[in-house]
Amino acid sequence: LGSAGLHFDDLNKLRVLEPEVAAQTAQLREECRAFVDKTAEFQKIVGSLIELVDQLAKAAESEKMKAIGARNLLKSIAKQREAQEQQLQALIAEKKMQLERYRIEYETLCKIEADQNEFIDQFIFQK
At residue 119, does pLDDT exceed 90? yes
Q: How confident is the model at residue 23 (pLDDT cuts 50, 70, 90)?
A: confident
| Stronger pLDDT, 56 or 12, i.e. the higher one | 56
Report how many domains make up the chain.
1
Beta carbons of 58 and 46 less than 8 angstroms apart = no
Residue 118 lies in a domain: no
Residue 74 lies in a domain: yes
Q: Mean pLDDT, to the nearest integer, of 75-90?
A: 97
Residue 104 lies in a domain: no
Q: How confident is the model at residue 1 (pLDDT cuts 50, 70, 90)?
A: low
Residue 116 lies in a domain: no
Residue 35 lies in a domain: yes
Residue 54 lies in a domain: yes
Q: Confirm whether pTM is higher than 0.85.
A: no
Task: Pick the range with the lowest mean pLDDT from 58-62, 110-114, 117-121, 123-127.
Answer: 123-127
CB proximity list for 115: less than 8 A, separation 6 or greater: none
| Averaged confidence pLDDT in the chain | 91
Domain that holds residue 90: 2-97
